[in-house]
Amino acid sequence: MERVRAASEMSFRLYGQPLLVTDSGGKDSAVCREIVRRSGIPFEIQHNLTTADAPQTIYYVRKIFKELEAQGISCSISYPYYKSQRVTMWSLIPMKKFPPTRLQRYCCQVLKEESGQNRFITTGVRWAESVKRKNNRGVYENFTRDPKKKIILNNDNDEERRLFESCTIKGKRICNPIVDWRDSDVWNYIESERLEVNPLYFEGFFRVGCLGCPMAGRHRWTEFRLFPAYKQAYIRAFGRMLERIHGEGIETKWKTDMDVFNWWMENETIDGQVGLIDLPDWRSENPP
């Protein structure tokens, strides 16, 4: 709780606003939400509408938000925008002209990371989730896509905290209060505090997030078997993506929407397949 209390102090000092708790509808968010609530600090809560979450997640978030609002806590939904227009996962894919992959997860950037600007937020990021997060995430950090400007603070000593607070980079700052928790720590806390979590965890899901997320690997086949409408939404989006690419005179070895879907699901590389870097528009819109 001391981590979020320190974040709350910095939030008021830097932004003049309470801590913003981001809630994805997953178990880690549930734990963070409860830790912040029990800390006694003022806070607001926000859910990023990715448009690709399962219906159970949406209903769960609505229920939790209704309960929090009854307690006087401000809850909000952040809607995704790209190039100044509202987007969904299905409209974003044709605009980006490439499927979201493990290496090119532009969907996270647009649908989730753009919210919370000029605020101090909390997330449920944990080192146990990946080696990459272990190497570049901390208890406190500033949000930047430039590694050279990244500041990570894992100790709340006075000198390091002053350095973190004096950072002149605009944008948002982040507190990851359970960054060093293991999966067992998370579930033990949920059980000990009797927290209500997303029902998908009791339906065979080990992760809760966007259906079809490339990071879910072959579990996506199960997701699409349970939620066939989402599979069809991706296929239609891939079809519109191909229409846009071919309309610009660019040849691909993908001939149909199903060609794209099958490649995307198997994560295979077709010899001579068009890549992001081959598209001039994509290069100009996504500089290194």
The predicted-structure confidence for 40-71, as pLDDT tens digits, reads as follows 999 999 999 999 999 999 999 999 999 999 99
**Mean pLDDT to the nearest integer, 176-181:** 92
Reported as a pLDDT band with limits 50, 70 and 90, residue 191 is very high
Query: Which amino acid appears at position 171 of this protein?
Result: G
- Hey, what long-range contacts does 100-104 have (CB within 8 A, 24 or more apart)? 100/214, 101/214, 101/264, 101/267, 102/214, 102/215, 102/267, 104/276
Reported as a pLDDT band with limits 50, 70 and 90, residue 88 is very high
H helix count then E strand count, the chain? 12, 9
Half-sphere exposure of 60 (CA within 13 A, CB side): 21
Q: What is the pLDDT of residue 273?
A: 44
The domain segmentation of the chain, as residue ranges, is 2-203, 214-285
- What CATH superfamily is the domain 2-203? HUPs (3.40.50.620)
Rounded distance between C-alpha atoms, residue 218 and residue 281, angstroms:
31
| DSSP run (H or E) holding 122 | strand 120-122
* pTM, full prediction: 0.83
The predicted-structure confidence for 225-266, as pLDDT tens digits, reads as follows 999 999 999 999 999 999 999 999 999 999 999 999 999 998
